[in-house]
Amino acid sequence: MNPVFNQPINISFPDDISLTIKREDLIHPFVSGNKFRKLKYNLIQAKVENQDTLLTFGGAFSNHIAAVAYAGKEQGFKTIGIIRGDELGDKIEENPTLKFAQENGMQFEFVSREDYRLKSENKFIEKLKNKFGDFYLVPEGGTNEFAVKGCEEILTQEDVVFNYVCCAVGTGGTISGLINSSAENQKILGFPALKGDFLQDEIRIFAKQDNWNLISDYHFGGYGKINLELIEFINAFFEKTKVPLDPIYTGKMVFGVIDLIGKKYFPAHSKILLIHTGGLQGVDGMNMKLMQKKLPILKTND
């Protein structure tokens, strides 16, 4: 585990508003950001239960799949990935995420999108146990009580100086951990990467405080969707700050926060902490798509 640090964003904002980004993306070279936090106590629990195999779910460019593969290898687990999309079975070499996971020992089971929707049902899990034997189940995106416990460790005592803590939201585990460890003076703002309001209920399962709100205006059309405006924003932000952003989660959240500053959403003198949840492994795959569409690629290094 590498030390995480808070990096001030040296951009001048109106009303004496300041931005700082917590560089969770630097916590581990391959198990990045919130994936490290979510897996920490799940891996401990798997060992408590004497399990030697981790099974989880994800899509073609899933940060979670890549992280489970590497973390499993690092800690001596076999890993199985149930991948959404049976058409991907013969495309592993063309997919940077799946190739990385396979190189780190993950065994794949490619399923149709229809079957993938059954991933939470007992019958489907039993079928997987009949095929693969016993395993420790890590949910899609990693969110469960152990993941939330890990994400509660993102905020530290030095972070109480911030009025607002902002993060991207996928399955709700990261924001739940932030809510639970936040101080009385803080408001937690989540920026969903997906369309829809179902996340409210998911977060309420784990969240122990009411000091949070979801801002659903910055998903750019839905999960995995991206346009030229977002690409140009991410690249300009990198040029100014040298902080690389992923386009699925953190890039959209940072775009949203800066847009809201311009719209006077935040009171004067607000101190805002942005949580960088990692996800940079997915940029190579996104850049392949952008090149096919003849769009500019995302910059994550000089």
What pTM was estimated for this model as a whole? Answer: 0.94
pLDDT digit string (tens) for 63-121?
999 999 999 999 999 999 999 998 988 889 999 999 999 999 999 999 999 999 999 89
Average pLDDT for 155-183: 96
**CATH 3.40.50.1100 intervals, the chain:** 6-30+145-293, 52-134
Whether the Cβ atoms of residue 70 and residue 77 lie closer than 8 Å to each other? no
In the residue annotation, 62 being an active-site residue is answered as: yes
**How far apart are alpha carbons 255 and 250 in whole angstroms?**
8
Give the fold, CATH level 3, of 52-134: Rossmann fold (3.40.50)
The model's confidence at residue 223, banded by pLDDT at 50, 70 and 90, is confident
Whether the Cβ atoms of residue 260 and residue 223 lie closer than 8 Å to each other? no
Residue from 62, 176, 181, 270 carrying the catalytic annotation: 62
Q: How many CB atoms lie within 10 A of CB 203?
A: 21
Alpha helices in the chain (DSSP H): 34-48, 63-74, 96-103, 113-116, 122-132, 145-151, 173-181, 199-206, 228-241, 250-262, 283-292
pLDDT digit string (tens) for 254-265?
999 999 999 999
Pick the residue with more confidence: 2 or 245?
245
Identify the CATH number of the domain defined by range 6-30+145-293: 3.40.50.1100
